[in-house]
Amino acid sequence: MAPEVWSTTSQGGAGSARGGAYHAGTREPETSSGRFTMASHGQTPPRAHLLILTAMAALQVRCRAQDTPAPPQRIAVVGAGIGGSAVAHFLQQQFGPQVQIDVYEKGSIGGRMATVTVNNLQYESGSSSIHSLNLHMQDFVKLLGLKHRREITGKSAIFNGEQLVLEETDWYLLNLFRLWWHYGISFLRLQMWVEEVMEKFMRIYKYQAYGYAFSTVDELLRSLGGEHFVNMTQRSVSESLLELGVSQRFIDDVIAALLRTSYGQPVSIPSFAGAILLAGAQGNRWAVEGGNKLVCSGLLKQTKANVIQAEVMEVVLQGTEGKVLYQVKHQVDDEQASDFYDIVIIATPLHKEQRNIAFRNFEPPIGEDLGSYQHTVSSVVHGYLNSSYFGFPDPKLFPFASILATDNPSLFFNSLDNICPVNVSASFRRKQPQEAAVWKVLSQGSLEKQHLKTLFRSYYSVQVTSWPAYPEYSSAKALTPIILHDNLFYLSSIEWAATSVEMSAVAAKNVALLAYNRWFQHQDKIDQKDLMQKVKTEL
Ligand SMILES: Cc1cc2nc3c(=O)[nH]c(=O)nc-3n(C[C@H](O)[C@H](O)[C@H](O)COP(=O)(O)OP(=O)(O)OC[C@H]3O[C@@H](n4cnc5c(N)ncnc54)[C@H](O)[C@@H]3O)c2cc1C
């Protein structure tokens, strides 16, 4: 079944199909307008006229064939998370199956989408949920024949270190009433703000379906939401929300907890990143049956990308026989090797703490001005919750599956979740707090023994992963570039606007289109203004 699905995509997919349509669509009017001008002069007899036209057309076709650069032969992608896997897939859609795509991965396929095993069952240790409006992820799951995982619902509460400041109940109306009682209509204002941002953000799918690409993150945001979106990367979530009339108390109790849980950062992070995250926190969320990382391995298999288990150490600009090539130097164990590529995509964050990729011979130098990444530690604990810590001496009465921490610096954790395995049968039920359950604790630093004793009465196992999780938004003044050199692209720069699985997938499609449009000099498909209007007239 897999090859069948792929052949449909490669022939009928947006990339290759649009590539063909694009040539015809843009060149044809030039030729016909030339024809029209000559005929309107009316000085050449019709038959001779026809012959001249035919000869000219043939000449134009020959010139065009000579002008069109040969397609790239080899492309390297560094990183096999969702960004790297998706870009391999989109690159093949654009350039066709003849281009060789090598994907370098130093760790596991999936990157920040990963699982750990507890008692022979796998649990998500990194990215756990996807929003229903994440259309690239939805497409991938369909394309790969994967399934949505059944959602096991559970209630949440917010903890400020001393008490629960907000508790979800089983009743939707009661939840609304509580929100209104505590915070007035702040939650409605928040919802309207997030929906407005999402509505504009969703334009990206249309632009990308028409083959449009952006050379900077600024341009991408500007095309979606004008200067307002660009400004949202420079002002804080709290500033934006206060301006909308959201109360300070709602920001302190609810928004701070949501941002701490997800980004491990305060409400001073940029409002665009905040809005994307808050959109992800509400609405329908889903995950992939068997684990979210299956999307990455599936896309790489489908693309028939050549996955090389190695760490890329250097990218060196080389000029060979008048042609610019990128030499990718990599290392497996102690062995070093290198290969030459026409195009290179960096699909892993470059940041101060991880200067593992050096860029040589580039002028101006690359990677001098990097921001920092925020570390988040995920501890997957199999044990008995100490519900007394949250004010419930009897664990049977503890009704929550999730606890979110407010922005209290003395709290040692960001969130605590009673998690379900990546494969859930029809009869599966979430473990009760009086039973030994699997809990995912997110924190800024590693949990010490004392912390574990505070949260758990006893435990069987703890599995710790320390993630360079998100950009530390206060550490960079401006958004980082996408184009590092002519055909060297930095996919993960999108994270400085906002981070999520879907943001990486959007960046992957943008980089694939950008690489294609630049390679074949389709300038009219890069950084175009008034795209909403353009797309409407192209319909
Ligand atoms: C704990 C946690 C929870 C999260 N929860 C969610 C969530 O619920 N929903 C959501 O949408 N997002 C979530 N995210 C964010 C999401 O996981 C990321 O935005 C997304 O997975 C990034 O994918 P990526 O491919 O761009 O980068 P990565 O997944 O980081 O992939 C980069 C890959 O490059 C490899 N690499 C790095 N350097 C080299 C080198 N020199 N040579 C070769 N390979 C290299 C790495 O090993 C890695 O596999 C979460 C993140 C974390 C850490």
* Tens digit of each residue's pLDDT (9 = 90 or more) over 35-86: 222 233 333 344 444 444 444 444 444 444 556 889 999 999 999 999 999 9
Q: Which residues contact 48 (CB under 8 A, 6 or more apart)?
A: none
* Ligand 1 centroid from CA 490, angstroms: 14
Q: Among 291, 336, 503, 58, which Cα is nearest to 50's? A: 58
Whole-angstrom CA distances from 311 to 332, 371, 467 are 7, 21, 17
Which parts of the chain register pLDDT below 50?
1-64
Q: Residue 66: what pLDDT?
A: 54
Tokens of 303: 């693309």
In the DSSP assignment, the letter for residue 34 is: H
Nearest CA to ligand 1 atom 4: 127
Whole-angstrom CA distances from 424 to 49, 131, 383, 419, 475 are 73, 19, 20, 11, 40
**How far is the C-alpha of 344 from the C-alpha of 363, rounded, in Å?**
17
Q: Residue 20: what pLDDT?
A: 29
Tell me if 378 CB under 6 Å of ligand 1: yes
**Best probe residue, ligand 1, of 348, 490, 506 (max atoms within 8 Å of C-beta):** 348
Tell me if 115 CB under 6 Å of ligand 1: no
The answer to whether the CB of 482 falls within 8 A of the CB of 511 is yes
In the DSSP assignment, the letter for residue 395 is: G
Map tokens 């693309």 to a residue. Answer: 303
Map tokens 């590693």 to a residue. Answer: 446
**How far is the C-alpha of 379 from the C-alpha of 111, rounded, in Å?**
17
Tokens of 155: 């209630």
Tell me if 359 CB under 6 Å of ligand 1: no
Tell me if 126 CB under 6 Å of ligand 1: yes
What is the SS3 assignment for 66? helix
Tell me if 105 CB under 6 Å of ligand 1: yes
Q: Which residues contact 433 (CB under 8 A, 6 or more apart)?
A: 384, 385, 387, 395, 396, 398, 418
Point out the ligand 1 atom lying closest to the alpha carbon of residue 356. Answer: 41
Angle at CA of residue 255, ends 405 and 350, nearest 5°: 85
Compute φ and ψ for 443, nearest 5 degrees: -150, 165
* Ligand 1 centroid from CA 141, angstroms: 18
Tokens of 278: 């808050």
**Count of beta carbons in the 10 Å neighbourhood of residue 451:** 16
What is the SS3 assignment for 324? strand
Tell me if 455 CB under 6 Å of ligand 1: no
* Ligand 1 centroid from CA 276, angstroms: 17
* Ligand 1 centroid from CA 181, angstroms: 39
Tell me if 312 CB under 6 Å of ligand 1: yes
**Best probe residue, ligand 1, of 127, 300, 314 (max atoms within 8 Å of C-beta):** 127
